[in-house]
Chain A
Amino acid sequence: MDSCDTPESTPRQRASSRLKDYFIGATPLQKRLESVRRQTSFVPTPPRRKIPQCSQLQEDVDPQKVAFLLHKQWTLYSLTPLYKFSYTNLKEYSKLLGAFIAAEKQKGLAVEVGEDFNIKVIFSALLGMKGTQRDPEAFLVQILSKSQLPSENREGKVLWTGWFCCIFGDSLLETVSEDFTCLPLFLANGAETNTAMIGTWFQKTFDCYFSPLAINAYNLSWMAAMWTACKMDHYMATTEFLWSVPCSPQRLDISYAIHPEDAKALWDSVHKTPGEVTQEEVDLFMDCLYSHFHRHFKIHLSATRLVRVSTSVASAHTDGKIKILCHKYLIGVLAYLTELAIFQIE
């Protein structure tokens, strides 16, 4: 039986619900235009972000399986959605990519000294590396060297590793159609020539585009605040910041190291809303560090450029290099990086 207390809707509400109905059946292009229009509104809303917590999906991930992702320096790239990528064809992709790399090496384009044994490429899915159920599965590409000697281990040495993931990428997932797989964050470890070759192959095969993801000083200070806010049982590394002073003729670098517990204490005194980080808190946290430094050295760090942030959770460099040290907050760190990658794609 219908309830009689339907709310009185004003003309404006009716219009917006009509608009919503229109967008349920909208094409991906229309959804994209709507999201872009929303972004260019002049109302500046201060961003609020969640402090990375252990998500429940993290429990499914075996810490040992993802241990190889930690303590390695990854170079970051943002990647546009892949066209007609299928998780069932991973073996085929391995063969194709292996053949491509062998052909490139024979062409002499990528010559590496002392490298004359065979290369094997493995594509594998990384289970559990996602923020919500909607996120596509992450997958991993590894280049291994196949040794000729039968006595040695069959697996061989890992020469290059790269993985694609998408953590909480809802804003991008809404706007692409079914044929596309959205994995906007790409992390690579290994020789630059291999990264370039594999990038070319992906670009040709899936009609996507890689671009290096640089992290600006504004985002680095957000990372510093969010990672200092993470609760840790024991701290493995000191909290360290590196600033670059633009001056001629030679660049000057200022490094500022704090005991991680002191940094956490400072953050706790600044932090107000539980579970969330606001722009004011980040600014206040950084201003405390700047004013402390100014009192001692009479140098205004706010006039210089923040280049590197290093905490016990992770460390990031402005050129787009990241090293994750703590598996508990792996998803949280990747979520922020995915956000930056999506922002760069858009």
Chain B
Amino acid sequence: MSVLRPLDKLPGLNTATILLVGTEDALLQQLADAMLKEDCASELKVHLAKSLPLPSSVTRPRIDLIMFVVNLHSKYSLRNVEESLHHVDATFFLGKVGFLATGAGRESHCSVHRNTVVKLAHTYRSPLLFCDLEVEGFRATMAQRLVRMLQICAGHVPGLSALNLLSLLRSSENPSLEDL
């Protein structure tokens, strides 16, 4: 079973790679296009996967950030993400993993409760972002945010590391979370 490890490959020169994992192919493709349109000093590479583990036959660069995309309209996407999480090494969760929940805007179509994803992100101590990927404006904003996160996780921003970013994102949450 191949497990993704954050530091098992050497980094490429000025390259940052993000892996988007989720069942919603069309949405992931659109998000990837939006990200690649962004101006960025580093060279961006976006990999899309339906689920983990990734096929070992392909050579790929070192992955700097994994975003798991959950569609709140479909329980299947949640189950898929939960199963894929088992193929990620624990050291990845030090700031190099994030969760993205889409579909919260259309409440009447939701079959996954918001709290389920919140609990999942809390269990893995990773940031959770909400974004309606179907809406173009929100998607563009989220792409900008992900590009920035990716640059930090790849180490291209001097003075800020993935772990710094994680603690910054967590301190803005309700402090009562620490009691859990």
Q: Which residues of A contact B (CB under 8 A)?
A: 41-46, 214-218, 221, 279, 286, 290, 300, 302-306, 318
| Residues of chain B in range 32-84 having any CB-CB distance to chain A below 8 Å | 73-77, 79
Chain A proximity mask over B168-180: 1 for CB below 8 Å, otherwise 0: 0000011011001
- 28 A-B residue pairs with Cβ-Cβ distance under 8 Å, sorted by A, are A41-B174, A42-B176, A42-B177, A43-B174, A43-B176, A43-B177, A44-B115, A44-B116, A44-B118, A44-B119, A214-B108, A216-B108, A216-B109, A216-B111, A217-B111, A218-B111, A221-B111, A279-B113, A286-B75, A290-B75, A302-B74, A302-B75, A302-B76, A302-B111, A303-B23, A303-B75, A304-B74, A305-B111
Report Cα–Cα, A102/B109, bound state, in Å. 39
Report Cα–Cα, A46/B116, bound state, in Å. 9
New A-B contacts (11) at CB < 8 Å, excluding given A41-B176, A216-B110, A221-B111: A43-B176, A44-B122, A216-B107, A217-B109, A218-B110, A218-B111, A279-B113, A303-B23, A303-B76, A303-B77, A306-B111
| Residues of A with C-beta under 8 A to B140 | none
Chain A proximity mask over B73-115: 1 for CB below 8 Å, otherwise 0: 1111101000000000000000000000000000111111101
| Residues of B with C-beta under 8 A to A286 | 75
| Residues of A with C-beta under 8 A to B74 | 302-305
| Residues of B with C-beta under 8 A to A290 | 75
Interface residues of B, count at CB 8 A: 24
| Residues of A with C-beta under 8 A to B79 | 302
Report Cα–Cα, A286/B23, bound state, in Å. 20
Nearest-CB distance from A221 to chain B (Å)? Answer: 7
Nearest-CB distance from B172 to chain A (Å)? Answer: 11
Main secondary structure of the interface of B (DSSP, over half): helix
| Chain A: CB-nearest residue to B75 | A302
| Chain A: CB-nearest residue to B113 | A218
Q: A318's contact among B108, B112, B173, B177, by CB below 8 Å, is which?
A: B108
Report Cα–Cα, A318/B109, bound state, in Å. 9
Report Cα–Cα, A318/B180, bound state, in Å. 35
Report Cα–Cα, A221/B108, bound state, in Å. 13
| Residues of B with C-beta under 8 A to A305 | 73-74, 109, 111
Contact (Cβ within 8 A) A42 B113: no
| Residues of A with C-beta under 8 A to B119 | 44
Nearest-CB distance from B135 to chain A (Å)? Answer: 17
Nearest-CB distance from A222 to chain B (Å)? Answer: 10
Report Cα–Cα, A44/B128, bound state, in Å. 14
Known: A216-B108, A216-B110. A42 touches B73 (CB 8 A): no
Known: A41-B174, A42-B177, A44-B118. A218 touches B76 (CB 8 A): no
Report Cα–Cα, A214/B109, bound state, in Å. 9
| Chain B: CB-nearest residue to A318 | B108
| Chain A: CB-nearest residue to B122 | A44
Report Cα–Cα, A81/B118, bound state, in Å. 32
| Residues of B with C-beta under 8 A to A302 | 74-76, 79, 111
| Residues of B with C-beta under 8 A to A300 | 76
